[in-house]
Structure 1
Amino acid sequence: MSTRSTIEIQEPLVKQLNTLLSALHIPISLASPIDLTPSLLIAILAQLMDEKIPTEISPYGRPSRNVQSMKFFIGVLESDIIQQDVGLSNIDPQRLASGEWHETVFIGELLCWIGRDRGLINNGDSEVTAYLKNQAPSPTISAMSILTRKTASTSNFSLHRRSESNTSVSVSVGSNDTFYPNQSGGKRSRRPHTRRRPRPRCIHEIPSPSVVLSPELGGSFIEQGYCQCVEPSHPEATAKVRRTGYIEPVDEDLELQSFESMRRMQGTHKREGDNIVDHQYDFIQLREARARNIALLNERARLLEELAMHDYPP
């Protein structure tokens, strides 16, 4: 990135970030986007949520704690504050915790977008307004264009690529839905959704996590699937609706007669079914009684044999 482009991004972005920090009552002034340290980002998140962050989440300067706190920051920011997929799953928490340029600029632009959406940042400044026209953040916030190849390759199983459930048919915001802040009222407008939503998958099309997370397979395998399901060649036939003519008067006697005949037929089928069950039950009882009689006769024969041996010893 050239020095000129860096300055063009840095100056208006830092100005907006300082305005946001002042609106959130955080007495810190930034000189560069890389000044967005993990502790400062957690403080901004706490102010946006108007809640106190648990102590175990707050970073204490150790790299491992910083990375964990950035994972918490990314997840809560996207799921609880923005509540839509904006490409945060493509952010590497380790690079964000270490203050890498691309990641901090991305988060800075996103925080400024949230501030404008909530009315915390005024768009009256001509310099800031010109920057907003060129850097209007979208749900993807140009994530794949500003992130490095390394960052993008570490998130093959990201929410951005799997924003829709494999078995769900609900409509979600696509990558072509770009939000732009309104200069007068701060409201957002949306471009028409033109991206074709993929068809729902069968349950056996979804690969197991062991296959998805295998390092030997790329992301293309996840997207293309492996089901060879036969789709219907023609749409299902629907009942035709007559839209012409008149409704004839109902013959009540005929309707009652038809209802009575149907009820009699159902009663006949039910009685026949009951008779079949009764016959089966009688057969089972007969078989059990016969087996019991045979057992009694065998026992009687054994007792008679013992009695004969007792009366007439050898």
Structure 2
Amino acid sequence: MSATAVPVRSRRTRGPRRTVRARGAGLGLVAWLAGVVFFLPIAWMALTSFHSESDAATNPPSLGAALTLDGYREFFGTGGGASPWPALVNSTVASVVSTLCVLLLALPAAYALSVRPVRKWTDVLFFFLSTKMLPVVAGLLPIYLFAKNTGMLDNIWLLVILYTSMNLPIAVWMMQSFLAEVPVAVIEAAQIDGARLPTVLARVVAPIALPGIAATALICFIFSWNELLFARVLTGVVAETAPVFLTGFITSQGLFLAKVCAASLVISLPVLAAGFAAQDKLVQGLSLGAVK
């Protein structure tokens, strides 16, 4: 009886296991196909950036066209055009400084809303999130008039203030969920040892919530680096950012596709490099608290 029961049980469990494996293989194949679909435009942009303008403008596109670096030479100004380095430096300063300011302001706010929650903290979070519901263009004219009257037009520090205020609500919202996973017992132990609030935030809360902080910092950096509307309207020559510099290659006459692809690839590299360097922290941070 027992000898015949074992094979019967194995036959019963073999079918569901095969179904689970087949389902996992199917999901993996779908994930790979989705990744290829999302990667193809980037690969196509990179290939087009190495073509001449005449080859890049052919229809249908020529995959076997000769490769050249003319688009990159034109972007870096070796042919007599404007240099992109001031715009890249401005974007770096605005993105990095605003991201640091956001983290310094969002960490205490998220601590107050999670570890030491205030009354009606859910209403506070909803208020933060509701500020992102206002269309950006609706606040463009008042901000422009303010910048004009205060003499801050074409000033990189105006963009730092704007990017900080724009990214702060989403940063507080994200970090609140991350800091909610910090054990309260660890914080209480540090307070018993005499640690004050700045020490608790810097040496206890921040190391534990580092993946969430890294994910928040990366998202804020990407939002600041890619912002175009305010930078286009509020800057001119001195504080011009990389996305604004990129739009200068698009003209109503002539061919510009290869040059725009080269410029887009170069301007995208800092974001891609930051995402690749922090990909493990980004995955940990975005998945923090998802499974309990």
Range class of TM-score, shorter chain = under 0.3
TM-score, scaled relative to structure 1: 0.22
Structure of higher RCO (CA pairs closer than 8 Å, 6+ residues apart): 2
TM-score, scaled relative to structure 2: 0.23
Higher fraction of helix: 2
